[in-house]
C-alpha cells in the first residue's frame, strides 16, 4: 500500500509542470510597452484592482537589436518588477534574430545568469524562446529542423545551468495560430524551390501529409515541436484584427465585434472554414489527453496534457492610416461602428469565462498585448489595460482607452478563476501560496505518507 501511495504522489509531481497553478486557476499577465515608457507598476495602477500575476517583455539574445539586448533589458526589467512590490512572475520572450547558429555559449551562459537573477529576486520565470517559429515574419521562422535542434540544445543547457532554480523556470513552446499558414507571402517565407540539402530536409518535415506540396493542408504545429521532454508549457498567439482582410489596402481595417466562437476556432482549428481559422487543433494535440501522432508513421509526437498559456492576445482597434496620403479620411469602417470597449470586451469575454475554461481546462495563463503601433496600413490599438503614460493621441484618446480598462476591471470581479500576484513588501513569498503546485510541496506529502505507513 505504501508504494501505491508513493506512486500516486510521484505521478502528481510529474503531472505538475513548473509554475502550473492549481486546477481551475489562471494566471493573468500583460506584455507592456517598455519602449513607450510603460511599466508593470503603471499597468497595475491603471487596472486599480489586484496586481497582475506576471509581466512580459522581450529580448534579442543574439545582439542584432542592441536596444533589446539582455544587458539592456534585464536590469530595467528586474527593477520594474521590484517596483510592483509583488511576487509577479517574469515572462521573457527571447528572440534569436541573428539565427540559431549565431548563438554563442557565452550568450547562453549570460541568459542563464539573467534567469537565476530573476528567480533569486523572488520572480519565477515564463521563458518563451523563438516564438511564432511557424511564421515567416522572423528570420528564424519556418526552419523546423534548425529550430528543434536549437531548442533541445539550449533548453538542456539552461536547465542544467539553473541548478536548483530549474523548477522555477517554465520553458514555453509557442507557435502562432494556424490561420493563414503556411504564410508564404512574408519576408522570410520558406523557399519551396530551394534544392540545397537543408531546404530539402526542411521541406520533408514541413510536408506533413506527404503529398509533395507545402500548403494550407500541412500541419502548422507538429514539424516544430521539440518533444514533450523539452517543453514545460505550450503557448499560442491569437488576435482579432477585423472581419475581412481588405485587398485594396493590403490590410485589415474594419472595427467589428468578434464572433463569440472566433477565439476557440483559432485555438483548436475549424476545418469547415480552415482558410480563415486553420485546420489543426493545437489544444487537442498538446494539452488534451488525446495527444498527437505522425499521420504517416504513427509515431507519438506528443502525449498531450501540457498546461497552455495564451502567450499574447488582443482585439485591435484601427484608428488612423499609417500613411494617409491618397487614403480616404477617416479610415473606412471605423466610424459609427463599434467602440473600443465593445470590441475588446467581446474578445476577452469569449475566452475568460467559466464555460470556455471548463471545456479547455489546461489553459492556465493568458497575457494581453499592451501596444499601440502601426501594422500593415493602419495604426492599431491593441491595449486592454489603458494607454501608456506618454502614448500619442491626446487626452480624448487616453479616455477611450480608460473606458476599456475600467470595463475589464468591472468584468474581472466575476472571474473567480483568475489568480493574481501576492504583495510581498520585504517578505519572500513563493507562488505556491497563490495556488501553484510546487514539486517541493508534493515531495513533502510523499515523505509524510511514507513515514505514516512505515509506522504501521
Q: Where are the beta strands (DSSP E) in 2-65?
A: 26-32, 54-60
CA-nearest of 134, 279, 144 to 203 is 144
Q: What angle do CA 312, 314, 319 make, to 5 degrees?
A: 135
Q: Are 399 and 45 in contact (CB under 8 A)?
A: no
Number of Cβ atoms within 10 Å of the Cβ of 156: 12
132 as an active site residue: the answer is yes
Please give the Cα distance from 230 to 127 (Å, whole number).
12
Could you tell me whether strands 245-246 and 233-240 are parallel, antiparallel, or unpaired per DSSP bridges?
A: unpaired
355 as an active site residue: the answer is no
Number of Cβ atoms within 10 Å of the Cβ of 21: 21
Please give the Cα distance from 456 to 85 (Å, whole number).
47
CA-nearest of 74, 130, 64 to 102 is 64
Annotated catalytic residue within 20, 71, 105, 132 = 132
Annotated catalytic residue within 20, 264, 312, 370 = 312
Q: Where are the beta strands (DSSP E) in 186-294?
A: 233-240, 245-246, 251-252, 292-293
CA-nearest of 125, 52, 115, 40 to 89 is 125
Radius of gyration of the chain measured on its C-alpha atoms: 22
Q: Are 421 and 29 in contact (CB under 8 A)?
A: no
User: Between the CA of residue 430 and those of 10, 118, 437, 438, what are the distances in Å?
Assistant: 21, 13, 11, 9
DSSP 120-138: HTT--EEEEESTTTTSSSS
> Is residue 194 helix, strand or coil?
coil
Q: Which residues are catalytic?
A: 132, 312
Amino acid at each position: 500500500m505504501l508504494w501505491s501511495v508513493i506512486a500516486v504522489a510521484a505521478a502528481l509531481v510529474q503531472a505538475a509542470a513548473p509554475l502550473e497553478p492549481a486546477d481551475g486557476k489562471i494566471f493573468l499577465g500583460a506584455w507592456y510597452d517598455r519602449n513607450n515608457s510603460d511599466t508593470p507598476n503603471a499597468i497595475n495602477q491603471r487596472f486599480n484592482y489586484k496586481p497582475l500575476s506576471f509581466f512580459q517583455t522581450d529580448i534579442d539574445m543574439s545582439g542584432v537589436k542592441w536596444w533589446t539586448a539582455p544587458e539592456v533589458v534585464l536590469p530595467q526589467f528586474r527593477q520594474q518588477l521590484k517596483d510592483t512590490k509583488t511576487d509577479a512572475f517574469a515572462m521573457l520572450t527571447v528572440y534569436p534574430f541573428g539565427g540559431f547558429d549565431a548563438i554563442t555559449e557565452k550568450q547562453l551562459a549570460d541568459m542563464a545568469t539573467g534567469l537565476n537573477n530573476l528567480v533569486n529576486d523572488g520572480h519565477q520565470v515564463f521563458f518563451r524562446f523563438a516564438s511564432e517559429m511557424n511564421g515567416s515574419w522572423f528570420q528564424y521562422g519556418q526552419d523546423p529542423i534548425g529550430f528543434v535542434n536549437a531548442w533541445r540544445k539550449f533548453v538542456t543547457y539552461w536547465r542544467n545551468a539553473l541548478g536548483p532554480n530549474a523548477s522555477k523556470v517554465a520553458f514555453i513552446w509557442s507557435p502562432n495560430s494556424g490561420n493563414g499558414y503556411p504564410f508564404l507571402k512574408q519576408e522570410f517565407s520558406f523557399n519551396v524551390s530551394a534544392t540545397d540539402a537543408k531546404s530539402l530536409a526542411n521541406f520533408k518535415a514541413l510536408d506533413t501529409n506527404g503529398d509533395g506540396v507545402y500548403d494550407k493542408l500541412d500541419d502548422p504545429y507538429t514539424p516544430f515541436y521539440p518533444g514533450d521532454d523539452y517543453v514545460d508549457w505550450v503557448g499560442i498567439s491569437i488576435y482579432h484584427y477585423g472581419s475581412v482582410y481588405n485587398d485594396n489596402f493590403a490590410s485589415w481595417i474594419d472595427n467589428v465585434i468578434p464572433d463569440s466562437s472566433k477565439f476557440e476556432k483559432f485555438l483548436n482549428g475549424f476545418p469547415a472554414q480552415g482558410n480563415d481559422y486553420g485546420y489543426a487543433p493545437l489544444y487537442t494535440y498538446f494539452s488534451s489527453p488525446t495527444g498527437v501522432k505522425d499521420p504517416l508513421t504513427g509515431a507519438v509526437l506528443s502525449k498531450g496534457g501540457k498546461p497552455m498559456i495564451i502567450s499574447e492576445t488582443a482585439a485591435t482597434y484601427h484608428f488612423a492610416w499609417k500613411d494617409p496620403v491618397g487614403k480616404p479620411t477617416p479610415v473606412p469602417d471605423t466610424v459609427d461602428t463599434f467602440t473600443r470597449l465593445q470590441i475588446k470586451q467581446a474578445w476577452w469575454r469569449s475566452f475568460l469565462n467559466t464555460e470556455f475554461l471548463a471545456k479547455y481546462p489546461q489553459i492556465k495563463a493568458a497575457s494581453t498585448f499592451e501596444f499601440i503601433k502601426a501594422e500593415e496600413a493602419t495604426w492599431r490599438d491593441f491595449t486592454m489595460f489603458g494607454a501608456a503614460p506618454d502614448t500619442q493621441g491626446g487626452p480624448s484618446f487616453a479616455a477611450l482607452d480608460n473606458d476599456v480598462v475600467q470595463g475589464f476591471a468591472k468584468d474581472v470581479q466575476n472571474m473567480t478563476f483568475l489568480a493574481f500576484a501576492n504583495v510581498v513588501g520585504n517578505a519572500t513569498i513563493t507562488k505556491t501560496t497563490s495556488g501553484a503546485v510546487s514539486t517541493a510541496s508534493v515531495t513533502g506529502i510523499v515523505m509524510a505518507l511514507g513515514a505514516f505507513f512505515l509506522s504501521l
